[in-house]
Structure 1
Amino acid sequence: MILTSARLTIRPFRAEDAQSLADYRSDPDVARYQDWGTPFPVETAARMIAEMTDPAEPGWFQYAIDRDGTVIGDVGVNTHENLMQADIGYALAPAHQGHGYATEAVQRMLEHLFTDRGLHRVSAECDGRNERSAKLLARLGFRQEGHRVEHTWIKGEWTDDLLFGLLAADFRTARQ
């Protein structure tokens, strides 16, 4: 499956993308609100890519965000066992942040999930300090559905979790 938008291609990772994946995931600014540590070894990236199978099956599947042949980030989709809902996450290399690429990639993935795959709901979660991510989700029509105070122990500290959800019906209404 390959998705295109005005400036991006969203596609499965290939083995040759392992170094790019490792490079931006090793950046402390990218990893700050994520559950992985730094550095993110190229061997871990290669194993992650090799272990991805069918994006329509339950579980996480990471897609590369490709800009003119360069991997600049990823969008992850965690399809639930019922195949009617999913969680979504994303990461973008710092040099490509602030240009609307994450918004464009997530928007295109949402179109695919709701239109092509017929999902009913997509959820997202972010660290309560990650204001840019929370704003991106709100901009795309997600509703903040919860705020779990000091819920997650990560990287030696308790962090708040912001919970977001978007229904297919709301997505379709917003597009009209």
Structure 2
Amino acid sequence: MESAESTESARLLLRRFSPADAPALAAYRSDPEVSRYQSWESPVPLAEAERLAAMFAAGDPRGPGWFQYAVERRDVPGLIGDVGVCRSEDGRQAELGFTFAPEFQGRGYATEAVARTVEFLLAEEQLHRVSAGCDARNVRSAKLLERVGFRREGHLVQSMWIKGEWTDDVLFGLLASEYGGTRDGR
């Protein structure tokens, strides 16, 4: 049975993190192209990834704040990415973010994982709204969000200081009343 702690799509399992995920987490979060538009600096040492995996594993998937889902393929175990969900204090809204290992990008895995997360939050958990934001230069993430059904709601010019520069932030939103997707983002 699917729950807030784990859920599946056609090809993926989204689940709670475990200590065994730390080496893969360190590897893909250390890639400069993966971390380019993220707030963390690369490389991410194994000790830091172990701390993160433990913190993610201890999270409450229904509580306010961030909960990070580990994403793996159903046919081959092993971490390929993560999807974060930040529920609001009142539990009616959530923000999401996602990061995938480079060797699993461009194959639809991120789209499938985000679509399943959105379906879970809006259709099953009955949240009112899901939002996301990304660096305006991160065209691939923006297109993914639009493919899943998000609408662009704003463009904040030079609104974030990240890695020694001011960056633009593009904002996206999706209401439960607008949602009509499928489990696999098609």
TM range (shorter): over 0.9
- C-alpha separation between the residues in 1 aligned to 2:59 and 2:98? 19
Displacement, 1:49? Answer: 2.1
* Residue 113 of structure 2 corresponds to residue 105 of structure 1: yes
The answer to whether the 8 Å contact 2:85/2:95 transfers is yes
Picking from 6, 10, 13, the partner of 1:6 is 10
Match of 2:63 in 1: 57
**Higher mean C-alpha deviation, range 41-50 or range 73-82:** 41-50
- C-alpha separation between the residues in 2 aligned to 1:110 and 1:141? 9
TM-score w.r.t. length of structure 1: 0.96
- C-alpha separation between the residues in 2 aligned to 1:44 and 1:161? 27
- C-alpha separation between the residues in 2 aligned to 1:134 and 1:116? 25
1:19-75 deviation line (CA, Å, top 9, x unaligned): 111110000010000000011122222212222321100011111110120210000
Picking from 132, 138, 144, the partner of 1:130 is 138
Match of 1:145 in 2: 153
Letter in 2 for 1:106: V
1:105-159 deviation line (CA, Å, top 9, x unaligned): 0001111111221111000000000000000001111010000011111101111
- C-alpha separation between the residues in 2 aligned to 1:57 and 1:40? 27
Match of 2:104 in 1: 96
- C-alpha separation between the residues in 1 aligned to 2:24 and 2:173? 30
Q: Secondary structure at the match of 1:115?
A: helix
Q: Secondary structure at the match of 1:40?
A: coil
Identity of matched residues, %: 56
Instruction: Show the 5 A alignment for 1:5-24.
Output: 5-24=9-28
C-alpha RMSD of the superposition? 1.0
* Residue 85 of structure 2 corresponds to residue 81 of structure 1: no
Instruction: Show the 5 A alignment for 1:34-45.
Output: 34-45=38-49
Q: Which runs of 4+ in 1 moved over 4 A?
A: none
- C-alpha separation between the residues in 1 aligned to 2:13 and 2:59? 19
The answer to whether the 8 Å contact 2:28/2:34 transfers is yes
- Mark the runs of 5 or more structure 1 residues left unpaired by the alignment: none
- Mark the runs of 5 or more structure 2 residues left unpaired by the alignment: none
Aligned length: 174
TM-score w.r.t. length of structure 2: 0.91
The answer to whether the 8 Å contact 2:59/2:66 transfers is no
Match of 2:52 in 1: 48
